[in-house]
Structure formats: C-alpha cells, structure tokens
Structure 1
Amino acid sequence: MNVGWLGVALAFGLTVLTGAYAFGPVSGGHFNPAVTVGLVVARRFPLRDLPGYVVAQAVGATVAGAVLLLVARGVEGGFDPVENGFATNGYGDRSPMGYDLTSVVIAEIVLTAVFLFVILGATARRAAVGFAGLSIGLTLTLIHLISLPISNTSVNPARSLGVAWFAGADALEQVWVFILAPVIGAAIAGFAHGPLLDRETT
C-alpha cells in the first residue's frame, strides 16, 4: 500500500507529537540536532550538553534506520535500500521531483528556521501550557507536505544520516546538505527569535 505524501507527512508529524509528550519530561524531547543547536543559540539549552545530545540523536536515528531496514527486507521479493532509495534526502536526480541543489538548500534552511520559530514560541514561558507537542507535531506535518517533493524532507540531520548509511555512496555524497542546511536554518531562528518575538529577552 502506498500511503502517499500525506501519509508520510502525518507519520513524521504524529511521531514527533507523541514523542514530545512521551520524552519531553525526561530530555526535553530532542530528536533533532538542528533543533538542539537552535535552542543553544537562543540560550534555551546549555552548550555543554550539545555534544552528548547530538551523539545520542545520531546513534538513535541510525539504530532506527537499521530496524526499518530489517522490517523492509521482510517483504516478498526482498528490498534493496540502494535501488529503492530508502527514503533518503537528495537533490538533482535524487530529488523526488528533480529540484536542484539551490532549491533544496533554500527549502531546508527556511523550513528548519520556521520549525525552530514554532518550537521556541510554543515552549516559551508565556505560551499555553500543554500544547507545545501538538503545535510542533502539526508544524512538522506541514513542513513535510511542502518539502517532500523537493528533497524528501530532512530539517533533521539525524533523520538524514539514519537512513543514508544504508542507501549507498550516492546518498552519502549528498547527505552533507541535509546536515549543514538544517543547522544553518536553526541557528538563524535561534539568533532572530529573541529580538523579533521574545519580549522576555528584550
């Protein structure tokens, strides 16, 4: 069964929504190195904890990718992650709709920045208590609906690495874009959110 882009977008958004409520009280619900970088830049998260979180996020995503591959290989006729693409991100001939590097970089930077603006706003002290996970999950769903045709949607370096390891050399050659662009977008939002929107820091 092909769930289409809407199904994929909902799967990512609902996963983050439920994960935020499940693990938020334990770790802040950080599943994304770019988000952690953005929170550090915005002075919402201690710099000393950044390396440990990034390592944990990358390892967790890689383990998740391995589990997904084991499940995918159970289909009749087998599953080749290199031939199939294994939901990796890409530009040019690896973009779902053939978007070039420039388009992909712009989309990933802008959409990651938007994601961080929502996260910073939803988790501010004056925000409505209890709704952060919902707004963050729905935002991620919207981001996927916009950018799945462009790059297969990253906005998360760990998500990109977690499947690229298993999808061959071409996927690994392009994965740098999906590490760098989301971090840039997150850092931009982290710098800009306080002066623009956060009265507590002005």
Structure 2
Amino acid sequence: MAERAGGANGNHGGVAVHIKDGLPPPPPRTSQEGSGCFVTVPFLQKLIAEVLGTYFLIFAGCAAVVVNSDENKVVTFPGIAIVWGLVVMVMVYSVGHISGAHFNPAVTIAFASCKRFPWKEVPAYVSAQVLGSTLASGTLRLIFSGKQDHFAGTLPSGSDVQSLVLEFIITFYLMFVISGVATDNRAIGELAGLAVGSTVLLNVMFAGPISGASMNPARSLGPAIVSSHYRGLWIYMVGPISGAIAGAWVYNIIRFTDKPLREITKSASFLKSSGRNGSA
C-alpha cells in the first residue's frame, strides 16, 4: 500500500527496436519517452505483483471470515482482525519494492490525485487489484462450497449512512498513515509494513462489526462479483475512495519541510531500501 514511481527494481522501462528501410535502429527510448506507447516488461511485473498481492490479501482475510463462520467461531473476531493486519504487513514487505504494494484501488487513486502516481497507470492497477480479489473470492467459493459457503463480503450492519461515514473515516486514517510512511523520507521506511498492517488491524477491530471495515473497494467487489451479492456495494466504493483521497491530501497539507516545492512533489519509495534500488 504505497506509492511507486518508475521501476522499483531499478529497471525503468523496455527497449523498442524498429528496423525500417535498412536504416539503423534509433537509440533506445527511456521509460518516460516510451511508456505511453508500449507496455514494458517491468510494468507487467508490477501488475502481476498487484494481482498476486491482492489475491493473497483477500484469500487470507476472507478465509478467516469463512472459517470463523463455519467452524463455531474458532478464529474469533480478534483473530480475524489479526489475520487482516498480518497479511497486509507480509505482502507489503514481499512486493512493496516491486509494485508499491497498493492492493487497493482507493490507495492508487489517492496517490494519483496527489500526483504521486501516474494517472495513465491507474486503470491497469485497479483492474489488477479487482482481478486478484475476484480470483481469491472464487477460490474460496470452490474450497468452501455447499453448507460451508458463506458470504465473505462486506455488508452494513446498521444504516447505510453510518457505514459510509465509518468507511470514510477509517480509510482516511489508513491513507494518512500510508502517506506518512510512504511519501515522507523522514519516516522510518523499514517499519512501513508494520505501521500499515497495524492500522488495518486497529480499524478492523472497531469498525468490523459495523461496516465490515473494508477500506478497499476491491476487497468488497471481489466477493460481491463471485456471490452476485451487490447490496450496499456503493458504500464500499464511495467511502474508501473519498476517504483515501482526503487522507492523502490532508497529510500533504500538514507536511512540514524546508525543501523547495519540486523536491516535495517528487515521489518517494515505500521502503528506504527501494529508494536505493532506483524507485524513488
């Protein structure tokens, strides 16, 4: 759940070779020159990382929900919250240096709104995240079929407005933390995964019984698509996206720095070590 700028592995783009009329090929194009026309291998790697990261995130979190519903609450509600927090932390550390570990359309859109992520890559990232969530939900549907089939999506337990406001607040909180650890070089980048995972755990603990604590449109959309259960889905589209955008912008407003504006607006890596590999 972090921003990503350029190639996180230090490989920023592919090389397009054109041979025409016997003329020598032009010099290789950089990613900034050719990224608008070509889908590069590094970008495909980032999309695969987003698909896999979102898949394992949704699979583990929703599996905890399903198993808890089917096996006499053996996981318990605090256990579900811990699973969500741990899987976020693990996946951030696993692929954060590759794709930025967004796993969340709201995070991707929020970073793009602050010019910390290219808008042209947003549709591909969001599609990858929704695909990963849908595949994970489908896998769970196949594994836990029949009497074990329980809807693992998010539903408001109270009024729609109550859940909408709660989703806005908790996603604001999550994005505020992400912005702090992902875009501010003064933060301890190595602890970013722990900070984000802990925030998810906290949010699920108090918001889960009310709204389901989605904080992620893909988390709600995947199970809804697989189960054809769309009641209240708009809440988990509007609340998290608007909350994430607000959280990112508020952190940018309160950010204090002596650096000139051009330095502030430069993208920072999610992990400090990523910056050393060329992603910042």
- Same fold, judged at TM 0.5 (above): yes
Q: Name stretches of at least 5 consecutive residues in structure 1 with no aligned partner.
A: none
Separation of aligned partners in 2, 1:153 and 1:114: 12
Measure, in 2, the Cα distance between the counterparts of 1:103 and 1:147. Answer: 11
CA distance in 1, matches of 2:120, 2:245: 17
Unaligned runs of 5+ in 2: 1-70, 266-280
CA deviation vs aligned residue, 1:122-179 (integer Å, no higher than 9, x gap) = 11211113110110001000010011110112110000011111333xx313211101
1:59-88 CA-to-partner distances (Å, cap 9, x unmatched) read 110001011112212xxx6334xxx3x122
**Residues 5-44 of structure 1: matches in 2 within 5 Å?**
5-44=77-116
Q: Deviations over 1:12-37 (max 9, x none)?
A: 11111000010111100110000111
Compute the displacement of 1:4 (Å): 1.8
Q: Structure 2 matches for 1:135-154, cutoff 5 A?
A: 135-154=195-214
The question of 1:191 aligning with 2:249 is answered yes
For residue 72 of structure 1, what is the amino acid of its counterpart?
Answer: F
Cα distance in 1 between the residues matched to 2:195 and 2:92: 11
Letter in 2 for 1:146: F
Indicate whether 1:79 and 2:148 are aligned. yes
TM-score (norm 2): 0.64
> Is 2:227 the partner of 1:167?
yes
The structure, 1 or 2, with the larger RCO (C-alpha pairs under 8 Å, 6+ apart) is: 1
Look up the equivalent residue of 1:108 and give its one-letter code: E
- Equivalent residues of 1:40, 1:190 under 8 A apart: no
Matches within 5 A, 1:46-195: 46-73=118-145, 78-80=147-149, 84=150, 86-91=151-156, 95=157, 99-123=158-182, 124-168=184-228, 171-195=229-253
SS at match of 1:20: helix
Q: CA RMSD in A?
A: 1.6
Instruction: State percent identity of aligned pairs.
Output: 35
More helix by share: 1
- Quick one: structure 1 residues 189 and 53, their matched pair in 2 at CA, closer, same or farther if it must change by over 3 Å? same
Deviation at 1:197, TM superposition (A): 2.8
Question: CA offset at residue 198 of structure 1?
Answer: 4.8
| 2:112/2:118 contact within 8 Å kept | yes
Give TM-score scaled by structure 1 length: 0.87
Matched to 1:63, the amino acid is: L
SS at match of 2:124: helix
| Aligned positions, number | 187
Cα separation, 2, equivalents of 1:167 and 1:148: 20
Counterpart contact for 1:156–1:178, Cα < 8 Å: yes
Residue 241 of structure 2 aligns to a residue whose secondary structure is: helix
Structure 2 letter corresponding to 1:167:
S
Q: Which amino acid aligns with 2:95?
A: F
Structure possessing the higher radius of gyration over alpha carbons? 2
Q: Given that residues 42 and 193 in structure 1 are in contact (C-alpha distance below 8 angstroms), is that contact kept between their aligned partners in structure 2?
A: no
Aligned to 2:190, what secondary structure does the other structure show?
coil
Distance 1:6 1:198 in 2: 36
The one-letter code sitting in structure 2 at the alignment partner of 1:140 is V
Contact 2:220 2:233 in 1 (8 A): yes
Q: Where in structure 1 do 4 or more consecutive aligned residues deviate above 4 Å? A: none
Structure 1 residues 198 and 66, CA gap change in structure 2 (3 angstroms): farther
Look up the equivalent residue of 2:148 and give its one-letter code: F
